Each structure stands twice: as C-alpha cells, then as structure tokens.
Amino acid sequence: MVRKMSKNYLAMMRDGEKLSLREQVAMIVKLSIPAILAQISSIVMQYIDASMVGKLGANDSASIGLVASSTWLLGGLCMAAGTGFTVSIAKRCGAKDEKGARNLVKIGLLFVIIFSTILMIISALISGYLPAWLGGNENIRNGASLYFYIFALSLPFVQLNSTAAGMVQCSGNMKVPGILEIIMCFLDVIFNALFIFPSHTYNIYGIKIHMIGAGLGITGAAIGTALAEGLTALTLLYFLLFKSKTLKPRKNEKMNDIIEEIKNSVKISLPVALEQFITCSSYIAFTKIVSPLGTIALAAHSFSITAESLCYMPGYGIGAAATTIIGQSIGARRYDMTKKLGWLTTMSGVLVMTASGVVMYIIAPYMIGVLTPDPEIQALGTMVLRIEAFAEPLYAASIVATGVFRGAGDTIVPSVINLISMWFVRIPMAAVLAGKYGLKGVWIAMCFELCIRGTLFIILLGTRFKKRAEEGTYIDRKKEM
C-alpha cells in the first residue's frame, strides 16, 4: 500500500524504515514546496521594492543597485554564521538527539546575535564611504549611502530571521518558515506603500481612497523592508523558543559544551562564510565593472538581477530541503539513502529551473516592464535576461548541490568551486567583454561562468560526495550525534 504524502518521511528515515523511490521523491517534494514558496516570496519582496523605487526614476533605482551587491554580502555572512548550527541541528535530529539539538539552538542564537551586532557596527561606520568606493556617480551616492546605512542597522533582524528559519527547517518543519516568509512579503508591500510615497488619493471606479504616506523615497524602501524583516524575525523566534515541540528550551536543560559546540559549528560555517565572501565580493567587483557603463546600464543590471532571481529561487528552496534531508539522513546513519537523495534533489532542481528558464526567456520583456517604465532600461534588461536563461539548468545544479554538501557538513567544496569559477572565469571575462559589448558582454560572462560552475558541481557530486556517502565518512565519529 502506498503511503500518503501526509506521512512524516523524515521520521520514517530516522526510524530505519525503507523508503521506495516514489516515497523519496515525495519527501523531497513535501519539504521543498514550503521552502520554494518562502524563497519566491523573499524575491517577490525585492521585486516589489524595485518596482516601487523604479517609479521614482533611474537615479533612485541605480542608488539601490549600486549597494545591492554589498547588502547581499552582509546577508550572506549572516546566513553563513548560522549554517554550522543549523546543519548540526539537522544531524542531531536525525540521530534523535533532541536534547543536543536544543542545546545547539541556545548556543547558536547567542553566537549569531553577537556576530550580527559586530557586523552592524562595522557596516554602519562605512556606509558613508561605500558608494564612492564602488565608483557610483555623485548624483546617486547620498541615496545609496542612506539606504545601506538603514540596512546595516537591521542586520541583527536579518541574522535572526535567517538563523531561526534555518533551525526550524532543519528540525523538519518547513511550513512555518515558509508561511512567515510569505507574510513578510505582504508586510513589505504595506510598509513600502506607507514610507516610499507621499499621501495621495486613488480613484477606483469613482470611489476615492485616500492613502497616507511619508514620501521618503528610497529611504522609505529601506525602512519598510527593515520593519517587515524585524517582525518576521521576532515571530520566528517566538515559534522556535516557545512552540517548536523539538527545539523549544526545557527548564532544567542548561547550555553545555559551549566552546566545543561553537568550534564544531564554526568549522562548518567558516567555509560557507568564505564562499559568501568570494561570491558577493565578486558581485561587488561586477558592480565596479558595470558602473562605468552609465546609469541606464547600472539600473538595467540591477533590475535584471532582481527579475532573474524569481527563476532561480525555486532552486534555493530545493537546496534548503536538500540540506535538511541529507543532514538528517547522515545523522540517522542512513548511508544507503544519502547518495541517492543527493542526486534526486539535485536533478529535481535542474528540472524545475530548466522550466523557469524557458518561461523567463519568453516573458522577459514583461518581467522588466513591471519594474521600470523606462524604455531604454526595459530593452537592455530584456536582452540580458534572455542571455541568462540558457544558464538556468546548470545554475540549478550548483545551487542544489551546494545544499547537499552543506547538509553533509562538507562546506569546503562549494567554497573552492565558487572561488575558481567567480574569480578566474566570471570577473576576468566580464572585464574584457564589457569594454567591447557593454552590459551584454558582462551577462555573457555570467552565463558562461554559471555553466562552468554547474558542471564542476555535478562532477564533484558524482565523485567526492558519492565516495564519502558510501563510506559513511561524513559522520563525525569523534562525537556520537
């Protein structure tokens, strides 16, 4: 008799039950859908920000585009700081060591709060200088600086949102973080409408609706996003600490092995942080290459990145599910399933993003058209999106395989691959092609590099991951999970 989708496949795996191929696929789908929705909602939020700011003009759009790669870097570092703890929690849950998982929750939250506070102070201090460092024009520097400053102040909430969501997901609960990310999207719409535009009156079929507003422009966009992020982070914390059956703290359980647990988690997090630094610093270098091409090119570049992210976010959702599945399968010592699940999740991502790439190629003009009324930006953005569509299948392989390796605690591999592909392929190629083909050349370089990166991940998944999964060497035998 076929088990229903409502069955807890992770629990079955932890209990040593045999799962058929159909049930393994069902587990991936069940865990991926909430994560995909969460990822898409976060990008929809950025899409809304960009669309609302796009109505203010090319200069305001370029201001946000100038510092976008820097905000990604900070967000990536926040994500990396919590990764070691979330992966370790997945393994503890897989091994049915719930007490150990709860201990990691408390230690992890304390660690990331300290980390994000330090990051916030440093970022706020450099906010006034960053736009000039990135080569931005004089007319967009002030707006870019203020936007980045407000984002910097919200970093503790960004950190708690990422870490709390990861902890809940790695315990096997993908729904709550997914639902809250969707709610955050709606909150962002409301707060942006309140803070970006001045008070105005809509006339809808003869009915006049007055909308209050602060008229703060791009400053309002930063404030609105920060408020939505903060409320979501606090809600996630409440669920994690008071409602989660597995992870909420117990009265008589004190933190123990603090230094050892931090050391173990940091060993996993450091390569992820390095990967994020390599990736996002290359994005900053990328921005430096694009900036001299002019305001129109910079705005088109920024809008196109936002538009494309709607296509690759499903890959990140499946990658998040892969981290949970692989982490728990290794914690449960189900080496009979680990290799197969690694390939199943990766190929699922490839199929989904191939379809999204086809859709992006077809509707590229509409995706950019929603973001900006400027015809020059629309034409340039449409062209580069259609170039990028050809990279989506192999980009998917790199995204999901990264989640697979992270679930195994093997975070060095993605870092090395990203270092090679970003700095030795993308950046040099973009620098050469930008002078000859402008923004088109930059995106050709990006497309080519993503294809190289995806190919490398597939090779590594078929060699290193296969060998270590079969041997069971991903488990830390010094400490029983």
Q: Could you tell me the two tokens for 408?
A: 């195994």
Looking up tokens 């392989």 gives: 397
Residue closest to 311 by CA, chosen among 356, 358, 370: 356
Residue 309 backbone phi and psi in degrees, to 5: -60, -25
Determine the 3-state secondary structure of 479 from DSSP: coil
- Indicate the domain borders of the chain: 11-471
> How many angstroms separate the first and last alpha carbons of the chain?
33
| 62's tokens | 């370029």
What tokens appear for 154 in the block? Answer: 């919200």
Overall size of the chain counted in residues = 481
Collapsing DSSP to helix, strand or coil, 211 comes out as: strand
> How many Å apart are CA 101 and CA 321, to the nearest integer?
18
Whole-number Cα distances in Å, 48 to 356, 367, 371: 20, 12, 8
CA torsion sign, 203 to 204 to 206 to 212? negative
Give me the pLDDT at residue 134, please: 82
Residue given tokens 């920024």 in the structure block: 302
Cα angle: 165, vertex 170, 171; to 5 degrees: 100
Number of Cβ within 10 Å of residue 443's Cβ equals: 28
pLDDT at residue 478, as a whole number: 44
Which of 72, 458, 445, 421 shows the shortest CA–CA distance to 276? 72
- CB-based contacts of 130: which residues, under 8 Å, 6+ apart? 67, 70, 144, 145, 148
pLDDT for residue 314:
86
What tens-digit pLDDT sequence spans the chain (481 residues)?
A: 344 445 677 888 887 788 888 888 888 888 888 777 767 766 666 666 666 776 777 777 778 778 877 887 888 889 889 988 988 898 888 888 999 999 999 999 999 999 999 999 999 999 999 998 888 788 888 888 999 999 999 999 999 998 999 899 888 888 898 889 888 888 888 898 889 888 877 666 667 777 787 888 888 888 998 999 999 999 999 999 999 989 999 888 888 888 999 998 888 888 888 877 877 777 778 878 988 888 888 888 888 987 888 888 888 889 888 988 888 888 888 877 888 898 999 999 999 999 999 999 999 999 898 888 889 999 999 999 999 999 999 999 999 999 998 888 888 888 888 888 989 999 999 999 998 899 999 999 999 999 999 999 999 888 877 776 666 666 554 444 3
Are the C-beta atoms of residues 397 and 349 closer than 8 Å to each other? yes
Nearest-10 crossing angle of helices 295-331, 375-388: 40
The answer to whether the Cα torsion of 422, 424, 425, 429 is positive or negative is: positive
3-state secondary structure of 210: strand
Task: Look up residue 248 and give its DSSP letter.
Answer: S
CA proximity to 14, closest of 96, 92, 87: 96
- The pLDDT of residue 45 is 64
Q: How many Cα atoms occupy the beta-carbon half-sphere of 198 within 13 Å? A: 1
Q: What is the full DSSP assignment across 327-360?
A: HHHHHTT-HHHHHHHHHHHHHHHHHHHHHHHHHH
Angstrom distance (rounded) from CA 11 to CA 15: 6
Q: Which pair of structure tokens corresponds to residue 313?
A: 């976010």
Element (H, E) at 199: strand 198-204
- DSSP label of 409: T
Q: Is 0.85 surpassed by the pTM of this model?
A: no
In the chain, what are the helix, strand and coil shares in percent, each to the nearest 5? Answer: 80, 5, 15
Would you state the structure tokens that stand for residue 319, as one six-digit string?
């990658």
Q: Using CA atoms of 327, 331, 335, 340 in order, give the dihedral in degrees to the nearest 10.
A: -20
Predicted confidence at residue 1, as pLDDT, reads: 36
Are 19 and 162 in contact, with CB atoms under 8 Å apart?
no
Residue 274's nearest CA partner among 408, 411, 400 is 411
Distance CA 321, CA 265 (A): 20
Contacts of residues 276-280 at CB distance under 8 Å and 24 or more positions apart, as own/partner, are: 276/73, 276/76, 276/77, 276/79, 276/80, 277/73, 277/76, 277/77, 278/415, 278/418, 278/419, 278/422, 278/423, 279/76, 279/418, 279/422, 280/69, 280/70, 280/72, 280/73, 280/76
Q: Which helix H or strand E contains 314, and what residues bound it? A: helix 295-331
Task: Write the DSSP string, 388-403.
Answer: HGGGHHHHHHHHHHHH
pLDDT of residue 202: 61
Please tell me the predicted confidence (pLDDT) of residue 415.
83
Task: Give, to the nearest 10 degrees, the angle between helix 138-153 and helix 155-170.
Answer: 50
